[in-house]
A and B are shown apart, each in its own frame.
Chain A
Amino acid sequence: MIALIDFGAGNLKSVANALNDFRAEYIITNKSDEINSADKIIFPGVGEAASAMNKLTDKNIAEVIKSTSKPLLGICLGMQLLATFSEERNTKCLDIIQSVVKQFDKSKVKVPHMGWNKAEFYNRAKLFTDVESGEYFYFANSYYLPITEYTIASTNYDVFFSAAINKNNFYGVQFHPEKSGKAGLQILRNFIELC
């Protein structure tokens, strides 16, 4: 059973639809006990970091995420919130990945970074099984997690940033696997079946 965390800042329907494509069993929940009893956790997020962190704290989900030993996949803002801090409204985040989320430089590139871009894989992580390095994924982000020691894939947009990360049981993708055609679906499937 997969827990799809609903904290009021995610495009849950699209992730749920993608999970339906390969008949994964999931529950959409914001309850700590349901999240804790799931085998895997998907943590999607869109919108703005500060209000998302407030919602996570209000609903007592922040602690659940920090302390979980289950495989967890953060998507988009969900990945960024795994960092220590975000420059988006100077928000203290979950501090699982010790890094600071930064904004793209508007004087150099159009912001948001919106559309399809390549992700170059650093290794053959399980998350990337049957997906080629250099595949295109759909991104929609104004902020980015820099390259860290936990980066497993990078994307270039003015700077190289983390397209995917992995630290122990924590995984994250900056792109939207649920909106990235076949390659994106394969990544979701890999998380569910292999990670």
Chain B
Amino acid sequence: MLCKRIIPCLDVKDGIVVKGTNFIDLKEAGSAIELAERYYNEGADELVFLDITATLENRKTLIELVEEVSKVIRIPFTVGGGISNIEDIEKLLNTGADKVSLNSSIVKNPNLISSASKSFGSQAIVAAVDSKTTGSLHKVFIKGGTEETELETISWCKKVEELGAGEILLTSMNKDGTKSGYDIELLRYLSSELTIPIIASGGAGKKAHFLEAFTKANVDACLAAGLFHYKELDISDLKNYLYQNKINVRL
């Protein structure tokens, strides 16, 4: 049986891992390579690197980072942040990344999903969706959560699935950095509506939150950042806890 996955996320700025709360207020958490190595040894199933500066000047730094990371870890990793065309994707995959995460660029140009998944396989294309809920309305945000779009979260997720994305990384902006638990309701609904794997993101604060996302929302993977960076939670402890609670994880 396929295992549920635990994925540490490293928000990277100039090679340094940073972590904010509700998408702002950045705090340094250490070298990306060192953290990647630590997580690999602690039993992380995958890693995600998001380049939060994502400017043209930093593109070279990101490629260098991917190259260094692929030398030290032997588990899959995803890279995201400012990726806007096939050439960028090709370069990152050829440098050693297994998947790319696309966010703002696919809102502007949804066909990028279909052309990228045709060229590299849907398994390499992760659609990252930043969602903010106001009342009962879920809206998609882009540009690191700074710009609201016209898109409704659930219909957008269905669209990216149709276009050929291999996974959805759903971040709840309301929950991000709050440590109050994942957005179970939204994730559960999405999980029942989609046929591609879903990665839950935003809100993890304790072990029980991961368990809840797997059992109540039926997500395929849980992503967290600060919780792991600052050693509030050890990945192997978390996986042991999940295993004891009958979740199929790789120990």
Contacts and interface: CB of A to CB of B under 8 A. Distances in A.
A124 to B, nearest CB: 23
Contact of A111 (B1, B74, B121, B195): B195
Given A114-B167, A115-B221, A184-B74, A157 B94 contact: no
A46 B70 CA distance: 17
Interface of B is mostly: loop
A102 interface: no
A43 to B, nearest CB: 16
A136 interface: yes
A176 interface: yes
A46 B94 contact: no
A3 B123 CA distance: 25
Interface of B: 1-5, 40, 45-46, 70-71, 74-76, 93-96, 98, 118-124, 166-167, 194-197, 220-221, 250
A111 B164 CA distance: 11
Nearest to A77: B121
A105 to B, nearest CB: 10
Interface of A is mostly: mixed
Chain A: interface residue count, which band?
35 or more
B229 to A, nearest CB: 22
A188 B136 CA distance: 51
A26 to B, nearest CB: 16
Given A13-B70, A46-B120, A110-B196, A115 B94 contact: no
Nearest to A138: B76
A13 B3 contact: no
Interface in A84-139: 106-107, 110-118, 136, 138-139
A51 B115 CA distance: 13
B96 A114 contact: no
Interface of A: 11-14, 17-18, 20-21, 46-48, 51, 77, 106-107, 110-118, 136, 138-142, 156-157, 176, 178-182, 184-185
A56 to B, nearest CB: 16
A112 B166 contact: yes
19 contacts: A11-B98, A13-B95, A13-B96, A17-B70, A21-B74, A46-B120, A47-B120, A110-B197, A111-B195, A112-B123, A112-B167, A112-B196, A115-B4, A140-B121, A142-B122, A156-B1, A157-B1, A179-B75, A180-B75
A181 to B, nearest CB: 5
B153 to A, nearest CB: 19
B96 A14 contact: yes
